Amino acid sequence: MSKVISNGLLAAAIILFSASSMADVKFEAGVSSGYQSNLINDNNDIDDISTTASGRIYLYPLSFMEISGAGEYTYYGETYKISNLLTGGEITLIPSWKDSPLRPYVKGSFYGSRYRRDFSGFDNNSGTVSAGLMYRAASQLHLRLGGKYTQTSYIDNDIYDQKTIEFFMGANKTFWKNNTLDIEAGFGTADYSSIRGDLDPFADILDGVPDTFLVEKNLKSWYISPRFSRPLGSKTGMNITYTYRSFTNDSAGIIFGSSSENLSPWSSLWEGQSVTATIKTMFFTDAIVTAGAGYFEKRYLRTLEESQYFIYMQLGPPRHDYQSRLFFKIQRPIVTKSGWFIEPSLSVEIVTNESTTEIVRMDLDNMPIDHRYDYDDFSIFWGLILRR
């Protein structure tokens, strides 16, 4: 497998190098490092320090085309076994016509993630194709619609495979000079493998999940998200975003694997509502400060709870979380005389999560109730971006 990846990266590098001789080229490199107090986002409170190095090259062979290739490696200190490499590329087409209010776009991307041997079950490839149309209906009114198809395939365990189709439409209106209201709504479907609800997690599933225990299902969902933004003076702006997401046919679905937010394929698959408020301001004329808060109410699909630390007895316990977030970021863009863009940054985030989930844990001597998803998390990261 490593040979295939190496050959693929070499071929991509040759293509990008060849194309660069006849196209405009831009480069971007970045590095970030920091501490997170709750890496797995559960009550095990596993903390660690991680460092990420990344690079991306952009090619512009035509005026309406952008091609990019990227690589990113994240290394963890104590939990080094989840260190991973992400590689891939994108191509974007945005044709435009003079004086036309229409602007279509088409985008395709492919990325692959590879982990160390002990976590190679999370190795996956993901491809996405999206297309949309933006329409300037008036000087201060813009409309948009589009769709996206995504397929994610796990190399060693196809039980996590997902295929999703999404459609959206939205409008952006500026009124009373500087106030902006943006509204977007969408509908999506996702194919996934569900575990049969009549199984016994010990007698049937403890030694694995054969294909006979699975049922192919299609999850349907929709969302609506309005966002209001406006300036607060000459150097400060604010926005408030509300999102409501709902499943329409999830009553019998049970997925395999933890729904925690680190490695789980299902961490972004939830219904509920959220509201986020953000303020951004210029500080000392040069630095950009962003601060905000968010509140999330999430209900996940039922899950067969499993991890490397414990095996849990319930098959598909319900999980309903209430989460609050505080975040802060300061960044300092610098443009040198030679044309380089440099941006150091510092970000801090505090998370508190409370969950209704009560899981009976299998220990040697007893079976206590475990409030696994009641947790707090603190993270602080610095970063540096270099672009030319």
Q: What is the pLDDT of residues 175-220, one digit of tens each?
A: 988 899 999 999 999 888 887 767 665 555 555 556 677 788 888 9
Question: What is the Cα 337 distance to its own chain's centre?
Answer: 35
Tell me the pLDDT band of 134, cut-offs 50, 70 and 90. very high
Cα-flanking dihedrals φ and ψ of residue 159, to 5°? -65, -20
- Domain for residue 55, yes or no? no
CA distance 161 to 165: 14
Over pLDDT 70: what percentage of the chain? Answer: 80
Say whether pLDDT at 20 is over 60. no
- In order, the DSSP letters of 72-125 are EEEEESTTGGG-EEEEEEEEEE----TT-SEEEEEEEEEEEEEE-GGGGGG-EE
- Domain for residue 27, yes or no? no
- Domain for residue 72, yes or no? no
- Domain for residue 250, yes or no? yes
Nearest to 286 by CA among 247, 333, 250, 251: 333
Higher pLDDT among residues 122 and 6, named by residue: 122
Question: What is the pLDDT averaged over residues 48-52?
Answer: 97
Amino acid identity, position 152: T
- Domain for residue 22, yes or no? no
Q: 272-296 burial, b for 16+ CB within 10 Å, e for fewer?
A: bbbebebebeeeeeeebeeebebeb
**Choice among 61-65, 169-173, 193-197 with the minimum mean pLDDT:** 193-197
Question: What is the pLDDT averaged over residues 348-352?
Answer: 98
pLDDT of residue 59: 95
| pTM score of the predicted model | 0.85
Tell me the pLDDT band of 322, cut-offs 50, 70 and 90. very high
**Choice among 71-80, 84-93, 193-202, 341-350 with the minimum mean pLDDT:** 193-202
pLDDT of residue 93: 96
Tell me the pLDDT band of 105, cut-offs 50, 70 and 90. very high
pLDDT tens sequence across 211-267: 677 788 888 999 999 999 999 988 899 999 999 999 998 766 777 665 555 667 777
Nearest to 382 by CA among 19, 22, 35: 35
- Domain for residue 283, yes or no? yes
- Domain for residue 41, yes or no? no
Are 303 and 258 in contact by the 8 Å Cβ rule? The answer is yes
CA distance 234 to 301: 45
CA distance 150 to 274: 24
Whole-angstrom CA distances from 50 to 212, 235, 242 are 40, 34, 32
Interacting residues of 325 by C-beta distance below 8 A, sequence separation 6+: 276, 293, 294, 295, 296, 349, 350, 351
Average pLDDT, the chain: 85
Pick left, alpha or beta for residue 176 (phi over 0 → left; psi -120 to 50 → alpha; otherwise beta).
left
pLDDT of residue 208: 57
pLDDT of residue 306: 56
Higher pLDDT among residues 315 and 34, named by residue: 34
Paired tokens of 324: 């609050």
Say whether pLDDT at 364 is over 70. no
CATH code (residue 382): 2.40.160
Pairing of strands 48-60, 214-231: unpaired
Pairing of strands 48-60, 24-36: antiparallel
Question: What is the pLDDT averaged over residues 27-32?
Answer: 96
Which domain, by its residues, includes 181? 99-387
pLDDT of residue 42: 80
Amino acid identity, position 138: A
Residue 20's H or E segment, with its range, is: helix 2-20
Could you tell me which residues are beta bridge partners of residue 106?
A: 93, 131
Paired tokens of 87: 């590689």
- Domain for residue 54, yes or no? no
CA distance 373 to 356: 8
Structural domain tally of the chain?
1
Nearest to 273 by CA among 229, 221, 322: 322
